[in-house]
Amino acid sequence: MFVLLTMSIAAWEGNVSIETPQTQIILHAKEGQDLRMAYYGLRTATLGELKASGCDFDFSVLPAFGTVDMVQLPAIQVQHSDGDLNLELQVVNYELQKEGKADVHLFTMQDKLMPVTVKTFYKAYREVDVIETWTEIVNGGKRAITLKRFDSGHLPLRQGDVWLTHLHGDWAAETNVVQEPLTLGCKVIRNTDGARNAHIDAPEVMFSLDGHPSENHGRTIGAALCWSGNYELRINTLLNKFHHFYAGIDPQSSEYVLDPKESFATPHLALTYSEQGMGGVSRNFHRWARTQGKLHRGNGVGDILLNSWEGLYFDINEERMLQMMDDIKQLGGELFVMDDGWFGDKYPRDIDNSSLGDWVVDTRKLPDGIPGLLRDAKKNGVKFGIWIEPEMANTVSELYEAHPDWIIKAPGREPVQGRGGTQVVLDLTNPKVQDFAFSIFDNLLSNYPEIAYIKWDANAPVMNHGSQYLPMDEQSHLYIKYHEALIQLCQRIRAKYPDVIIQDCASGGGRANYGLLPYFDEFWVSDNTDGLQRIYMQWGTSYFFPAIAMASHISAVPNHAVFRTTSLKYRCDVAMSGRLGMEIQPKNMTDDEKAFCRQVISDYKRVRPVIQFGDLYRLHSPYAGDNLASLMYVSKDKQQAVFFWWKLETLKNQHVPRIKMAGLDPDKYYTVRELNRIDNKPLPCEGKSYSGAFLMQTGLEMPYTHDVDYNKLNDWASRVLQLTAE
Ligand code: GLA
């Protein structure tokens, strides 16, 4: 709900301070001039002081092609109906609106010559230090205009040993942390997958302004583009004392025609600033996600689940489903999820080369259908979830036979086919396809309201560049309209089904982004469930996303992606640091392994509120190169904490650093209890109390190996400690 408070620009003397509890952006909004940014940092500055300090931080918020000099990149470019490519934006109005727990500052600008209006928004949260910015372009003329570039925002950064942190990966190797100093020239991070946008490069970055990125110190800015489609992040560095950061939808192949009276809104760019280094930025993002609706789950805890994929792959049948439900119940879990392989009538889904689109139960595998599965789940006292891939089809499917025109491909051309040699992407720009995708949910959830969880997958990029639905002169709208339609589909689903838990999966972590997470409860971090590689991947993911969003499952060894054999304890200790689940065939586990997992699950239930809702402190990076990673979660009231310590590699006589904890109350005394203990003797710290000050200044010594019988020795070592304040 908006409450409008219109302020005259004069009342503000042209200076607008956009404020969160700790931070502030100062804009200079003089009527008749372009909108300029003078400051982003802690809430201590005034424009007068900044000017008196000799600060020349004074840049157009939205540099427009035509008014910026040719070396500075534009953030916005429009081609007017007469072919003119210039924009000269002048502020004509400023409004302050209240929207829930945020202040929305709206600056309206107008081109000097042509009837094009550009509205720039800044949404400042009153309880978290995040400011979102976005832009709306309105064609006020009588003829169409073409949008050639439409960034969500631009941020100047004063030069001086500024470092960029970003994530880069691939399928089964998501979110590797990359850190590099910004140097002269233009650095571009972009995604052109079409359907998913987080596998290779991620649309979130951090800037460490005071030299090499530090976890706890230094001025640090975080930026997350809230968009699920193609994007482009640019950092342009000139000899003018500033780096210029731009973020927006990738304009490549996406020129957008705006008809008279139409408007185009960019996705939001979320910005946060902290003087507590990268850790401070992460905690700001996590809090914003959890408390401001940027992650759908809100305050409900994430259930402990067993997913059938790595345990069975396509080999689904009723007996095996029943067995897995029974197993997860016996282990103390709360939910069972049936993955791929349950559907298809004319074309049964036995491998990945057919049936997507034919969302009917394969009654050869599941004679009692979904009612039978729900009956079995009820009997076992677990919730039931199911896998779907609503935006996709196989060319071997009844759907494709009936609607070959529903897939994304250029009219007249043969489609390139993906996974299984037959997978194609449905054309969500087509309203009939939108209705179809909605009906997949609606049929499942209205017929079977007991379904508690949906795993929504997306296993193909856009491989065919064209739409059979859009007119030929709007082919370049495909990449944008697809994602606008995807969001509308999510909104339609959430309006009717607000409570079902939906996992955001796209061949693993291909869709971990804040464009989609407001509608999803969690995401699948990666198809790689190897304990060791997950430490690296979850580390990178944690820069921007809270633990509750990270589905993190215990799987079998040798691991199915990297064939490494880690110990069960190690896999459990890693999986416990996110939303714990299992991705395994319990039938193949020994009784001892089951007993261990039962204990892990029962302990996780006790500490899960701390992990899922607590503040994250990353203590020692796996990227430090000394074979150790450690992090901890601390509850808001600092009464509870959970500490994780994982050794990465074992070399004889190799020493790893002693870890100091963080985030605790220095004056409180914490009793330590080891979880998932396998050692014959407890640790020296077991049951003892230490002040928060001691734990943070000195820390506890962790033995490098486990004290176990000879036949149980292996090269994996890890610890999980629960800390409870007296
Ligand atoms: C993707 C997902 C997996 C699994 C398979 C099923 O790869 O990431 O978890 O659901 O699809 O085909």
Q: What is the pLDDT of residue 6?
A: 52
465 vs 475: CA distance, rounded Å = 8
User: Phi and psi for 77 in degrees, rounded to 5?
Assistant: -145, 135
Q: How far apart are CA 718 and CA 618, in angstroms?
A: 16
Task: Give the pLDDT confidence of 578-622 residue by residue, as tens digits.
Answer: 999 999 999 999 999 999 999 999 999 999 999 999 999 999 999
Residue 2 has pLDDT above 80, yes or no: no
pLDDT in tens, 95-130: 999 999 999 999 999 999 999 999 999 999 999 999
- In 3D space, the residue among 548, 561, 554 whose CA is nearest the CA of residue 520 turns out to be 548
Distance (Å) from CA 76 to ligand 1 centroid: 38
Give, using CA atoms, the residue closest to atom 4 of ligand 1: 309
* pLDDT digit string, tens, across residues 19-48: 999 999 999 998 899 999 999 999 987 777
Q: Tally Cβ neighbours within 10 Å of residue 56.
A: 13
- The answer to whether residues 326 and 319 touch, using CB atoms and an 8 Å cutoff, is no
Rounded to an integer, what distance in angstroms lies between the CA atom of residue 349 and that of residue 345?
Answer: 8
- Rounded CA separation 31/457 (Å): 49
Query: Active site residue: 339, 352, 527, 615, which one?
Result: 527
- Separation of alpha carbons 254 and 277, rounded Å: 36
Give pLDDT tens digits for 272-298: 999 999 999 999 999 999 999 999 986
Distance from residue 604's CA to the centre of ligand 1 (Å): 25
Q: How far is CA 545 from the centre of its chain?
A: 6
Q: Count other Cβ atoms within 10 Å, centred on residue 27.
A: 24
**Catalytic annotation, pick one of 129, 250, 339, 457:** 457
Which residues have CB under 8 Å from 51's CB, separation 6+?
Answer: none
132 lines ligand 1 (CB under 6 A): no
Residue with tokens 């499952």: 553
- pTM of the model as a whole: 0.97
DSSP string of 403-462? -GGGB---TTSPPP--GGGTEEEB-TTSHHHHHHHHHHHHHHHHH-TTEEEEEE------
- Read off the DSSP letter of residue 659: B
Structure tokens at 629: 């990673």
Q: What percent of the chain has pLDDT over 70?
A: 98
Q: Active site includes 457?
A: yes
Query: Which residues, 6+ apart, have CB-to-CB distance to 411 below 8 Å?
Result: 466, 468, 472
Which residue among 502, 503, 505 is best mutated to probe the pocket of ligand 1, counting the most ligand atoms within 8 A of its Cβ?
505
Is 69 part of the annotated catalytic residue set?
no
Q: What are phi and psi of 6, to 5 degrees?
A: -85, 130
DSSP 578: S
CA distance 207 to 209: 6
Q: Residue 387 in contact with residue 336, Cβ under 8 Å?
A: no
| Helix boundaries (H) for 615-697 | 692-697
